[in-house]
């Protein structure tokens, strides 16, 4: 049991160091040897968990989406379709604020790295978008949003919240002050978008 726990902790440490190494210098300068050095383990220890740097990167991405998914699911506690949609946007922001490096890794990496970063099992990453599509569908069914293609509307909402969040994380919205001040702006801007998409 002790060896299994130690292995789990080592794997988690390797994920963290791999994520941070990528964010510090991109994929071009990424190496398993440097990940091992940062994690304080031997290169052989890395290969006990991952057979290549691509496998490690995909695992980091999958772990990030798993955390992201856990935030989105909290939105289901809201009572109405409109409240669940608002809660979905709120949880998107909360995930980014509370896990900025995971957010940067899964949503703000270089476009040419996307194929490498995408998890081998895309079920969870795809399910986060489908979660938003489901919120859009139920809003349309309850006449909160105008009838349209739910995938297109979901993509529009995602582009909106991602744009706001990524601008904030990259420092372009520093003028909005504290995280709470930015959150108020974010909520108002998102409510305005949803009003524009209403019937």
pLDDT tens for residues 178-187? 999 999 999 9
The answer to whether residues 25 and 67 belong to one domain is no
> What DSSP string describes 28-93?
TT--HHHHHHHHTS-HHHHHHH-SSHHHHHHHHHHHHHHHHHHHHGGGGGSSSHHHHHHHHHHHHH
The answer to whether residues 100 and 160 belong to one domain is yes
The answer to whether residues 65 and 144 belong to one domain is yes
CATH number at residue 29: 1.10.10.60
The answer to whether residues 90 and 182 belong to one domain is yes
Q: How far apart are the first and last CA of the chain?
A: 57
The answer to whether residues 34 and 103 belong to one domain is no
Q: Under a CB-based contact definition with an 8 Å cutoff, are residues 85 and 194 in contact?
A: yes
The answer to whether residues 167 and 108 belong to one domain is yes
Q: How big, in percent rounded to 5, are the helix, strand and coil portions of the chain?
A: 80, 0, 20
Last residue of one domain, picked from the residues 9, 31, 51: 51
Q: Mind listing the pLDDT tens digit for each residue in 15-53?
A: 999 999 999 988 877 899 999 999 999 988 898 899 898
The answer to whether residues 60 and 81 belong to one domain is yes
């Amino acid at each position: 049991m002790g060896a299994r726990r130690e292995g789990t902790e080592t794997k988690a440490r390797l994920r963290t160091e791999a994520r941070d190494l990528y964010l510090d210098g991109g994929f071009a300068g990424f190496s398993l040897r440097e990940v091992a050095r940062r994690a304080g383990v031997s290169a052989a220890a890395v290969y006990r968990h991952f057979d290549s740097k691509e496998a490690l990167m995909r695992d980091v991405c999958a772990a990030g989406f798993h955390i992201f998914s856990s935030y989105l699911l909290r939105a289901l506690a809201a009572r109405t379709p409109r409240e669940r949609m608002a809660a979905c946007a709120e949880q998107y922001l909360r995930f980014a604020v509370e896990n900025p490096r995971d957010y940067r890794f899964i949503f703000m990496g270089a476009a040419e790295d996307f194929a490498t970063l995408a998890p081998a099992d895309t079920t969870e990453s795809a399910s986060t978008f489908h979660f938003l599509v489901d919120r859009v569908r139920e809003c349309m069914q309850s006449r909160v949003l105008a009838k349209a293609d739910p995938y297109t509307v979901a993509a529009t909402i995602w582009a909106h919240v991602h744009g706001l969040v990524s601008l904030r994380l990259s420092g372009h919205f520093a003028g909005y002050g504290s995280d709470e001040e930015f959150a108020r702006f974010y909520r108002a801007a998102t409510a305005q978008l949803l009003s524009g998409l209403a019937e």
